[in-house]
Structure 1
Amino acid sequence: MARIILVHGACHGAWCWRDVIPALQAEGHEVTALDMPGRGGGVAGLTLADQTDTILSAYEGRAVLVGHSAGGFSISAAAEAAPERVSRLIFVTALLPVDGEVLGRKMQGLKGTRAPVPLVVAPDRLSYSFDLSSAGEALYNGVSPEGIDWALTQVCNEPSDPHREPIRVGAAFASVPKSYVICTEDRMIPAVDQEAMAAGLSDVVRIATGHSPFLSTPAELAGHLSRMAA
């Protein structure tokens, strides 16, 4: 069985994997869900290197890194820094970068139709969050009303600086095997854009759900992650 590190996306935390962790553990995997640095905002100067350090310091030896949404940049930076410590990258409706891309610009350049979810920038301009009055159905379509209500209470401010930084990935990143879980009903990262990012990968699966399969279809997602990790 595998050691699996779960990395959340923007404005989320380790909490979002609540329903996936026990399903993976039941299959015998060693599972750790992480909080990236700066949850809640107010921290200046954070970088992708800080995210890399958080990931690589969470385990010894090698692990499978799973990234959701913006977490695709986080796990990619870690793989570039230490490919010998990453046995596989799994992108869950996530941003799969190419060298020099900036996360914020990559989101703005997506081709598919996206839900209009305004961002709320903190007064110190060091972080942002989603406008929670309209974000629920965009972030969590397919999740139960109770699940949406719970998730919205957990959403926090996301540090802006790493999302303005060009990522550097090259041969080290390219050497790590990759898998992709496409969510066909995603309203944040449209399926057409996921398909484009996953093009060329040999291990791609599709789930008929929205942007947050860890809450809408946790058992199905865990099944795919378990197979990919093994």
Structure 2
Amino acid sequence: MARFLLIHGSAHGAWCYRELIPALTALGHQATAIDLPSHGDDPTPYQEATLSGYADRIVSELQAIGEEVILLGHSMGGYPISLAAERLPERVKHLVYLCAYVPKPGFSLNDRRREAEEQPLMEAIQLTEDGLGWTVGDDDLNRLFYHDCPPGTVDLAKAHLTIQAREPSTVSIETTARYAAIPRSYIRCINDGTIPPSYQVTMSEDWPSERVFSMDCGHSPFFADPTGLAGRLDQIARDIT
């Protein structure tokens, strides 16, 4: 079966895939999740975290795995998986954007976000004193990320969320035919409270219909419906074999 490498979004870490990995394993797949620099258990100071460093971490894991993977990025993770795929395309069999930002030439992630008609995240962002990172207040976590997740999810998140460095969202990436040649799929979350569902449609509206999927959930399907998400990923894996 397939080998998955799972990349988290802003402020999260490998911990957010703790329910998805066993769900994929139950379907016969292998799955690994990693912490990007300054996230989860990684000790890198957020002031030193960069988009290029995120991609380097993914490339290092791809090299360690030593075989082609289905590379999934959630939310912000859409940018670093794209850059990593550009750098090491021979190890990426398929890209999956899970309610994620898809790079556009000359556009940073922040530029892409500003294209959306709504900005639900912006009113909740709290900058660090040095201005190099941000967090989201506890009162906004449920509304933005976990409104349809099981009891205890917000407490789990509070214990593990980290400061999100600003730099990775402020730089654009240049991709070539190396990246463009890799097949990709998009999973839209139609009740997303962070990335407007309409903008997820915009980012994937010109993709082949068979490569676009939807889930009736919010921004964290790995908590809200890990079994359903594993089923979508299993379908993607079967379609590309």
Structure 1 residue 98: Cα displacement: 1.2
Q: Equivalents in 2 of 1:191, 1:93: separation in Å?
A: 8
| 1:110 and 2:116 aligned | yes
Gaps in structure 2 of 5+ consecutive residues: none
Structure 1 residue 135: Cα displacement: 2.3
Counterpart position of 2:52 = 49
| 1:136 and 2:142 aligned | yes
Counterpart position of 1:14 = 14
Stretches (4+) displaced over 4 A: none
| Contact residue 4 and residue 229 of structure 1 kept, 8 A | no
Counterpart position of 1:154 = 160
Counterpart position of 1:62 = 68
| 1:79 and 2:79 aligned | no
**Which residue, 206, 212, 215 being the options, matches 1:204?**
212
Deviations 1:37-65 (A, max 9, x none): 12277343433221112112112121110
Indicate the larger mover: 85-94 or 114-123. Answer: 114-123
Counterpart position of 1:215 = 223
| 1:123 and 2:115 aligned | no
Structure 1 residue 229: Cα displacement: 2.6
| Contact residue 68 and residue 90 of structure 2 kept, 8 A | yes
Q: Equivalents in 1 of 2:227, 2:48: separation in Å?
A: 37
Which letter maps to 1:69? S
| 1:99 and 2:102 aligned | no
Paired residue secondary structure (1:135): helix
Q: Equivalents in 1 of 2:149, 2:46: separation in Å?
A: 31
Deviations 1:151-199 (A, max 9, x none): 2322111122111111112222111100011000001111110011111
**Which residue, 169, 190, 207 being the options, matches 1:184?**
190
Q: Equivalents in 1 of 2:123, 2:230: separation in Å?
A: 28
Indicate the larger mover: 164-173 or 184-193. Answer: 164-173
Which letter maps to 1:157? I
**Which residue, 213, 227, 230 being the options, matches 2:235?**
227
Which letter maps to 1:50? G
Q: Equivalents in 2 of 1:112, 1:204: separation in Å?
A: 22
Higher relative contact order at CA 8 Å, sep ≥6: structure 1 or structure 2? Answer: 1
Which letter maps to 2:135? S
Paired residue secondary structure (1:167): coil
Structure 1 residue 200: Cα displacement: 2.2
Q: Equivalents in 1 of 2:166, 2:119: separation in Å?
A: 24
Q: 1:116 to 1:77 in 2, by over 3 A?
A: closer
Q: Percent identity?
A: 35
| Contact residue 64 and residue 89 of structure 1 kept, 8 A | yes
Paired residue secondary structure (2:4): strand
Indicate the larger mover: 150-159 or 65-74. Answer: 150-159
Which letter maps to 2:34? L
Which letter maps to 2:227? A
Q: Equivalents in 2 of 1:164, 1:115: separation in Å?
A: 16
| Contact residue 117 and residue 135 of structure 1 kept, 8 A | no
Deviations 1:127-149 (A, max 9, x none): 21112222222111211232223
Write 1 or 2 for the structure with the bigger share of helix. Answer: 2
